[in-house]
Structure 1
Amino acid sequence: MSGPDNQDEVLQWIERVATFCVEEWALPPITGRILGLLMICDPPERSAGQIAETIQASRASLTSNMRFLSAIGLVRRVRVPGDRTTYYRIEDDAWHKVIQRKLDSLGAFGDIADEGVALAGPHAERIRAAQRSLTWLRDIAARNPPTP
């Protein structure tokens, strides 16, 4: 991680990431701590043991959270030639990929909303409101694509 001069500040920042993840995304605090650590550590790879030690987590809890983060594409496993240890890292474009997948899934909901409007007929205002919001979000994303 960063040098010992700012270790406390780094740990506080990791905790802020965890708090954000809990409050905004309803993720467990450990998931946010893992993300925070992997975003700020140098070098960018950490073993499960290093992660657990830094964020004071059990290996069992860490394992299930690493599986989740890997499944959603934020964290990937890394092997170092000649080293049997598995390391984890966040790719530089991981956030872009996750957000793009989320936007794509919201766009797919538009098809479902179309069917709902057809079914509900004149009583479909709530569905139309969802469609308008999703269309607005899709259009913003199309006009302002993030740069990975």
Structure 2
Amino acid sequence: MPGGRLTQRDRERIAAGLADGLSYGEIARRLGRPTSTITREIGRNGGPGDYRPRLAQQATVRRARRGTPAPAPARDTGSLGAAKEERLIMLAVQTGLPMMMARVHIDLLLSDDGRRTAAELARRLSISPATVSVAVNFLVQHGFVRRERDPQRRRDVYVVDDDAWYHTMVTGRRQTLQTVEAAMAAAEELGLDSPVGQRLSKAGAFLERVSLDMIESADRWRGLLS
């Protein structure tokens, strides 16, 4: 019931909301709860990538039996505030980033020096090392961050810098150009005078022109990031 303790059913709805990519605020609204309640619930039970409603319910029962307060989330959202950070994350998701990748990316962006180790990301976001590994590998592959080696601590450090915006845009457009090449090849194989061939040819020409224009624009304005 709204205002009381979360039930097993509530936790199942939270998990479903996370799977659907909903923001904490939207999940809270659907359950009739404060956003802070949902934030604490997810943060203390594995984070958005590892939240399991059954395990969360069991952990709550154990804490109640012990009579000890639930541990506070390890997340430190800094001076920006949780609501504004969540807004940034959802905007990143709307551009096409998967939810967990968006959370890791925004956390890196909001760090003072744009650098974090995998352990720091896992602690701050309350997620498993395996989840961090999947997220950062995706971000590295798509040009959002780069991987550096810290020789003193013998561990990888993940870095996001100003030039990441340029590399992300160029990488995305180059991937689109690969799609263009495939579409044009299919159009030629099917016949440029066939209905499908004409459709693929037009789409390929459009995507090619737009992608090349965006790469040229990124090159022209790259200096603004310096």
TM range (shorter): 0.7 to 0.9
1:39, 1:90 within 8 Å by CA — same for their partners in 2? yes
**TM score, norm. by length of structure 2:** 0.53
Aligned-residue identity in percent: 21
2:119, 2:129 within 8 Å by CA — same for their partners in 1? yes
Q: Secondary structure at the match of 1:46?
A: strand
Q: Secondary structure at the match of 2:78?
A: helix
CA distance in 2, matches of 1:16, 1:72: 22
Aligned residues: CA RMSD: 2.7
Instruction: Indicate how the Cα distance of structure 1 residues 140 and 37 shifts in structure 2: closer, same or farther if over 3 A, else same.
Output: same
CA distance in 2, matches of 1:116, 1:138: 19
Tell me which residue corresponds to 2:94: 23
CA distance in 2, matches of 1:32, 1:115: 34
The letter of the residue matching 1:23 is Q
Tell me which residue corresponds to 1:32: 102
How far is the alpha carbon of 1:25 from its aligned partner? 0.9
Alignment counterpart, residue 159 of structure 2, candidates 89, 101, 108: 89
Tell me which residue corresponds to 1:141: 214
Question: Which consecutive unaligned segments of at least 5 residues does structure 2 have?
Answer: 1-75
Instruction: Indicate how the Cα distance of structure 1 residues 59 and 116 shifts in structure 2: closer, same or farther if over 3 A, else same.
Output: closer
Instruction: Indicate how the Cα distance of structure 1 residues 79 and 128 shifts in structure 2: closer, same or farther if over 3 A, else same.
Output: closer
Alignment of 1:113-132 (within 5 A): 113-118=183-188, 119-120=190-191, 121-123=193-195, 124-132=197-205
Q: Secondary structure at the match of 1:88?
A: strand
Task: Name which one, 1 or 2, has greater alpha-carbon Rg.
Answer: 2
CA distance in 2, matches of 1:10, 1:80: 30
Q: Secondary structure at the match of 1:35?
A: helix
1:34, 1:51 within 8 Å by CA — same for their partners in 2? yes
Alignment counterpart, residue 14 of structure 1, candidates 85, 88, 101: 85
How far is the alpha carbon of 1:49 from its aligned partner? 2.0
Alignment of 1:104-119 (within 5 A): 104-118=174-188, 119=190
More helix by share: 1
CA distance in 2, matches of 1:85, 1:96: 27
How far is the alpha carbon of 1:40 from its aligned partner? 1.6
Instruction: Indicate how the Cα distance of structure 1 residues 114 and 86 shifts in structure 2: closer, same or farther if over 3 A, else same.
Output: closer
2:173, 2:215 within 8 Å by CA — same for their partners in 1? no
CA distance in 2, matches of 1:21, 1:133: 25
Q: Secondary structure at the match of 2:80?
A: helix
Alignment counterpart, residue 58 of structure 1, candidates 105, 114, 128: 128
1:13, 1:36 within 8 Å by CA — same for their partners in 2? no
Question: Which consecutive unaligned segments of at least 5 residues does structure 1 have?
Answer: none
Instruction: Indicate how the Cα distance of structure 1 residues 142 and 42 shifts in structure 2: closer, same or farther if over 3 A, else same.
Output: closer
Tell me which residue corresponds to 2:142: 72
The letter of the residue matching 1:64 is V
